[in-house]
Structure 1
């Protein structure tokens, strides 16, 4: 946390940048107020980098446009109805929004956009005090009507107005509260926490798309665990992500199975660590994190008490994949993300058979084939799924997976394993067998693929011989 003096100095440096100074001077020359607002001001106190430059002004959207046009490389007004004009100035993207004093339709929760004339009034309508600070430009005057600086220093998340009014205006702010506790490492003040629990049900009024966006932002953060735990504690998860609290299975006194809920949160943390340390994916990777979050959601439905008191979860991988598909679809995730997460969940147990005996090359090829373009994510999820405190067991599993990855690399170098295909394509199959396009071609192709997976590259001559023998036997 920066001191107030250090934060103001940092904001002064930002204000002196070509983009901000050019914009501030243009608004001052036009006789209008301008203030840097929200995240950039907050992050100056937290000593965090910020990528957004958001400004607010007493100028109307038409006036904003007239001011930024002469000094911008490009400009756009897609947010004009909400008072926002975007522009690129000195190579940086900025957004400038007219002061607002919105009122909300309590049925649809859509704001009735009303433009205001006061910076203080604009700030007091915002979600949290730490986001309700502004720096007047070019004066470099800090404006903090609701005590955001004090809350930053105390690491407390609080609403500028009463939380009942704030969350009632826009229930999505409850999801934002969850996200900010994780991203900033802050705790909720008592009144905000109580309102969050009492008003959780109102999240049902928010579209799935907006909830999905907030959940995705939470999972992309560096430390989402605290936010996920708060979602469960306050009741939001039961409404938007019920599979997560359902993982809190009763753990018997003899510990016949681990705490699935805590295990899942640990897997999410470890998956993030592997994602970053391996460096083979663009981080943050939402698919890895969703797969880690959902990988065991099939356990509650498949939990069985076996003779001798042992608890089993047979087929929880397949059941979990179906449940994940259903939930992610309800949250309006895109199909590519849904399919990738489902594949990872279906395959996340496959490796554990590797420790029971050395896999054949055929088994390794099938592992790679079934993972497809999700192989690196499967490596991460499988490694992250090891949360045992037994050091010997953890090491054994780690060494086994090291060995599997080594064999995959060796086979890939020798056989181009990342693109396993039969030695004969469809055209060649039709020519050799004298058949037309249809089901028979597909069956022949699959037969040759199985041969390829079992025995590696065959060559055209051997593949042709096997194909003809298979076809002759099939006709009998």
Structure 2
């Protein structure tokens, strides 16, 4: 479909045009909607931004009344208003903002990047007249992110991160001069609210290919300004099992994770549904796993020791999990996201220990999924990415292949077990206390936990066997005391 024909399909555009003409108000459709239409981005566009020369409130209010929709005040000082319309089970957002400056050119010069400066005059409708004052079409065709003007980065430093989110979402490159300006003003990111930083970081992580943007942010040392413990990972040597320093390895692991998620794992419906569900609020589990991969070895700089001329990082997974508290504050994560990150980092070495067994026992596998629960597959996937990014001279290729085979089997088992009916509970805490005349205590919980494990492994099949096993545990406990 041609651009002009696409524009004509925008719901209610004609009504806004009529209202503007009737009330002698100049209105332009600007920004993202026109950008996405120009590059023929997949998916329906539902967000529209309008630049209004005066009487912005009046226009937005009348449009809301005409469409029987509610008008929301976004910013009374900046004269910015929103109308949300539900149409055929979809929500369409119309934002009306007072023109910044004396004319359209002044307004466009106050925007972030040239690719967002296309404009369409609604006063000229039904004719479709595209306005391009700053070379938007040229930069869209050449897939180039170019800052409109240097002051816009000082006015809103979040635009530094937005350059990268646009870059990875659209597959665009950042112009060299713009790169230099992003570096020049990177320290101003500390003045941006944590909530806005969070939103932009997750826009980057939600891209199918976030790695190029994260890598470029790393090269420009911009990622260090927004995610804690990146700087500490740089230059930390890991020994002969690794071919990269700690931060280089974490970056490479992100690349490996995206290759897994976008290719092999995406072909399996259960895994695809698991990864792309919302983990906590609006962020998907795959996006949280990407952040976990970036930070999975954050504890290494604080755990590093040289023993017998060998570099070791004993307990780095525990230290790394504890560091997430600071990440939680800095990125304004949800409590659920913090919990997921802590679990993924704390358990990320455990799948490797299972792979060391060649053929992990049923008991070891049971305990792994018991401890990691719903995040077992996420831990396994992180481990896969971690091992794929470990390619030093002492790396055993056969061991890595064995690890991969066992990891894929673990994921398969998790989803197979989910399809089975839950094993019915044979006894509960009251049964145990009544049978053995016990008071409520940690021992009762320990008995139930062990019975559940033996039942899952097929060693206990009825109530009689459960009581017999419980009696054995109680006798051992009393012998110790």
Q: Structures share a fold, TM > 0.5?
A: yes
Distance (Å, rounded) in 2 between the aligned partners of 1:123 and 1:379: 48
Distance (Å, rounded) in 2 between the aligned partners of 1:78 and 1:457: 63
Structure-2 residue corresponding to 1:352: 352
Quick check: 1:403 aligned with 2:409? Answer: yes
Distance (Å, rounded) in 2 between the aligned partners of 1:410 and 1:150: 52
Whether contact under 8 Å (1:99, 1:118) holds in the other structure is no
Distance (Å, rounded) in 2 between the aligned partners of 1:460 and 1:64: 73
Distance (Å, rounded) in 1 between the aligned partners of 2:17 and 2:243: 58
Quick check: 1:271 aligned with 2:264? Answer: no
- The one of 231, 246, 260 equivalent to 2:217 is 231
**1:42-53 alignment runs, 5 A limit:** 42-49=35-42, 50-53=45-48
**1:211-290 alignment runs, 5 A limit:** 211-251=197-237, 255=240, 257-259=242-244, 260-276=246-262, 277=266, 278=268, 279-281=272-274, 283=276, 285-290=286-291
- The one of 435, 445, 448 equivalent to 1:445 is 448
Structure-1 residue corresponding to 2:304: 303
Quick check: 1:154 aligned with 2:142? Answer: yes
Quick check: 1:84 aligned with 2:81? Answer: yes
Structure-2 residue corresponding to 1:98: 97
Distance (Å, rounded) in 1 between the aligned partners of 2:111 and 2:334: 30
Q: How many residues align?
A: 448
TM-score normalised by length of structure 1: 0.84
Structure-2 residue corresponding to 1:112: none
Structure-2 residue corresponding to 1:118: 103
Change (3 A) 1:406 1:97: closer
**1:315-326 alignment runs, 5 A limit:** 315-326=315-326
Change (3 A) 1:319 1:452: farther
- The one of 130, 133, 142 equivalent to 2:130 is 142
**1:418-429 alignment runs, 5 A limit:** 423-429=426-432
Structure 2: tracts of 5 or more residues without a match: 277-283
Question: Which shifted more, 123-132 or 335-344?
Answer: 123-132
Quick check: 1:74 aligned with 2:81? Answer: no
Structure-1 residue corresponding to 2:474: 471
Quick check: 1:41 aligned with 2:34? Answer: yes
Distance (Å, rounded) in 2 between the aligned partners of 1:89 and 1:10: 24
Structure-2 residue corresponding to 1:381: 382
Whether contact under 8 Å (1:423, 1:457) holds in the other structure is no
TM-score normalised by length of structure 2: 0.83
Structure-1 residue corresponding to 2:465: 462
Change (3 A) 1:312 1:257: farther
Structure 1: tracts of 5 or more residues without a match: 1-5, 102-115
Cα offset, 1:88, TM superposition: 0.6
Q: What SS does the aligned partner of 1:281 have?
A: helix
Distance (Å, rounded) in 1 between the aligned partners of 2:228 and 2:301: 12
Cα offset, 1:381, TM superposition: 1.6
> What does the per-residue CA deviation read over 1:344-391, in whole Å, with 9 as the maximum and x for residues that have no partner?
111111111223222221111111111111123223222222325676
Q: What SS does the aligned partner of 1:86 have?
A: strand
Whether contact under 8 Å (2:157, 2:188) holds in the other structure is yes
Structure-2 residue corresponding to 1:334: 334
Distance (Å, rounded) in 2 between the aligned partners of 1:193 and 1:407: 47
For the aligned residues, what is the CA RMSD? 3.0
Distance (Å, rounded) in 1 between the aligned partners of 2:258 and 2:4: 32
Change (3 A) 1:422 1:296: farther
Whether contact under 8 Å (2:426, 2:466) holds in the other structure is yes
Change (3 A) 1:433 1:24: farther
Quick check: 1:15 aligned with 2:8? Answer: yes
Whether contact under 8 Å (1:61, 1:80) holds in the other structure is no
Distance (Å, rounded) in 2 between the aligned partners of 1:134 and 1:96: 14
Q: What SS does the aligned partner of 2:111 have?
A: coil
Whether contact under 8 Å (2:296, 2:317) holds in the other structure is yes
Quick check: 1:192 aligned with 2:211? Answer: no
Distance (Å, rounded) in 2 between the aligned partners of 1:43 and 1:405: 38
Whether contact under 8 Å (1:386, 1:394) holds in the other structure is yes
Distance (Å, rounded) in 2 between the aligned partners of 1:248 and 1:128: 31
Cα offset, 1:129, TM superposition: 1.3
Structure with more relative contact order (C-alpha pairs < 8 Å, separation 6 or more): 2
Distance (Å, rounded) in 2 between the aligned partners of 1:221 and 1:408: 27
Whether contact under 8 Å (1:183, 1:221) holds in the other structure is yes
